[in-house]
Amino acid sequence: MRALSPELTRGLLGTLALALVATTGKVVIPVVVQQTLDRGLTDDGADVGLVAVAVGAAAVIIVLTTVATYRMNLRLYRLSEGTLATLRVHAFRHIHDLSMLSQSAQRRGSLTSRVTSDVDQMSQFLQFGGVMLLVSSGQMLLATVLMVVYSWPLTLLVYAFFVPLFVVTRLVQRRLAGRYAIVRERVGELLGAVSEAVVGAPVVRAYGVQERTGRRIDRTIGRYRSAQIEAQRVVAGVFSLSELVAALATASVVTAGVALGVAGSLSTGRLIAFLFLMTLFVMPIQSMTEVLNDAANALAGLRRVLDVLDLPTDVRDPALGPAVGRLPVPRTGGTPPPGGRRGPATVPAGPATAQAGRDLPAGPLGVRFDGVGFAYPDGPPVLRDVDLEIVP
């Protein structure tokens, strides 16, 4: 991915730094609450000065984090759109470099979906899920550090509930990836069925096959709907499990925290601040199910785009420069490809072969075939030793 779109890692460290600053404003509130309860409120009354300083410092930090959040979002949007624009251009150009046989072997909607809906799915994840992933990771890290400071026994109790959930989520992620691979295939089928029915509407009417075409579209829509439901069923199970684990963890922390408070090991302010921090820790985990959903969908789309880029080309326009990755460019001579016609063979793309083309003369051109043969993939030869000359 980085080789196809170098923009992906450009300025990434700065974005990560902004993400860490953006999470500071969320964890500063529990600290202010703890300081106010434990130090601002005493037996002699309220320490207004300390409370005012704490609240003022929190306000300044929140303003700074708001600016950092804005800058982080802006950088992520530019990063994602620049990366995906480059990927979309590579994929679109490569589709035009494919042989007519490769293009005709795939349905029109399938190729179209690779550079439209599949890339759009990656854009949605990078702009929404990417932001949430960065902010949530920083939020969980800072919340964990403060929870350990306030009460390490309660922190261990929280992790005792959520570590198994992390393991289960990781296992489910692999299953979800398979489900969304099917979803992206169904999207291609749906676009193909609809586009062929729309473009071929005159033919459909001329041959009176409206009913058969309608059944085909209905069947394609039904397959897409079923694939989406199967994927969402997995997501719903993970979300429900995370809700249950969060409820059990909260109840356990409240019970254990009260017991520690009665024993004098934990102040009221620290307990309340810990519960605030635990909420900040739990919320990203619950939202991770949505991120997991978008990530699996985006990964399936990325694999489909890369599958297209891995298809070998017959003839590449030298004016377009070196091919991406392992794409071949033509050279003269060589042996006939298996099951194909005699003529150009292929070699890996490189600086020398990228300049192997030459300009054609102006005006109409003639075509000459010398000993040409042809066979469909995995099929018998249908043309043998064809000699033909077509004058301009």
Q: Where are the domains of the chain?
A: 6-309, 332-342+366-392
Taking the C-alpha atoms of residue 318 and residue 320, their distance in angstroms, rounded to an integer, is 5
Residue 137, both tokens? 């990771």
Q: CB-based contacts of 32: which residues, under 8 Å, 6+ apart?
A: 54, 55, 57, 58
Number of continuous H segments (helices) and E segments (strands) in the chain: 10, 6
**Whether domain 6-309 has CATH 1.20.1560.10:** yes
Taking the C-alpha atoms of residue 240 and residue 256, their distance in angstroms, rounded to an integer, is 25
Could you identify the residue written with the tokens 């377009």?
320
Q: Which residues of the chain have pLDDT under 50?
A: 323-354
Q: Quick one: CA torsion of 216, 218, 220, 224, rounded to 10 degrees? A: 180
CB 201 within 8 A of CB 242: no
CA nearest to 204, candidates 185, 186, 217: 217
pLDDT of 384 reads 92
CA dist 128 → 86, 131, 136, 361, 389 (Å): 20, 5, 12, 52, 58
Cα-only R_g, the chain: 30
Strand pairing class (45-46; 328-331): unpaired
pLDDT of 231 reads 83
CB 310 within 8 A of CB 176: no
CA nearest to 385, candidates 376, 147, 375: 375
E strands present in 252-357: 328-331, 345-348
Taking the C-alpha atoms of residue 274 and residue 261, their distance in angstroms, rounded to an integer, is 12
CA nearest to 110, candidates 179, 184, 55: 184
pLDDT of 289 reads 66
pLDDT of 341 reads 39
